[in-house]
Structure 1
Amino acid sequence: MDISLKVEGMTCGGCKAAVERVLRAQPGVSAVTVDLEAGSAKVSSEGSADPAGLVAAVENAGYDARIDG
């Protein structure tokens, strides 16, 4: 299952890396792709990743996030 997120507040490569790191640490996540310029993240999971938990993890890292779509 793929989950798309809109992420606001990323301004540099360090921000991108931070978002990738927190998303990869979430249960069930198998792959993460973050597009800094588009302000988006795509999360692939084994079906057990919680979309609300992904949003919360990104927000806890200091960025605004929401499910995109």
Structure 2
Amino acid sequence: MIRFNIPDMNCGHCRASIEAALTPMPGVNALRFDIDGRMIEVEGDAPAAEIIQVLDAIGFPAKVLG
């Protein structure tokens, strides 16, 4: 599991956009959202760098949380 901070995620539309982009990625098995905390958890073996690249491409810059 990898946790990401996504400062620009603040509504259900943001969540839907992120889900649509990440769900089809190879290695993404599940997503958990904390919209109020502006955080997602990604289960699977997709590389963090690839996830960040996809999020950046759809307008949601993200950082890995330690």
TM-score normalized by the length of structure 2:
0.89
Residue-pair matches, total:
66
How far apart are the structure 2 equivalents of 1:65 and 1:25? Answer: 18
Q: In the alignment, which of 52, 63, 66 is matched to residue 66 of structure 1?
A: 63
Structure 1: give runs of 5+ residues left out of the alignment.
none
Higher strand share: 1
Identical residues among aligned pairs (%): 29
How far apart are the structure 2 equivalents of 1:58 and 1:34? Answer: 14
**Is the contact made by 1:23 and 1:29 (CA closer than 8 Å) also made in structure 2?**
yes
How far apart are the structure 1 equivalents of 2:27 and 2:36? Answer: 26
**Is the contact made by 1:5 and 1:42 (CA closer than 8 Å) also made in structure 2?**
yes
SS in 1 for 2:63: strand
Moved over 2 A (4+): none
**Is the contact made by 1:6 and 1:41 (CA closer than 8 Å) also made in structure 2?**
yes
Structure 2: give runs of 5+ residues left out of the alignment.
none
TM-score normalized by the length of structure 1:
0.86
SS in 2 for 1:33: strand
User: Is 2:3 aligned against 1:4?
Assistant: yes
CA RMSD across the alignment:
1.0
**Is the contact made by 1:19 and 1:34 (CA closer than 8 Å) also made in structure 2?**
no
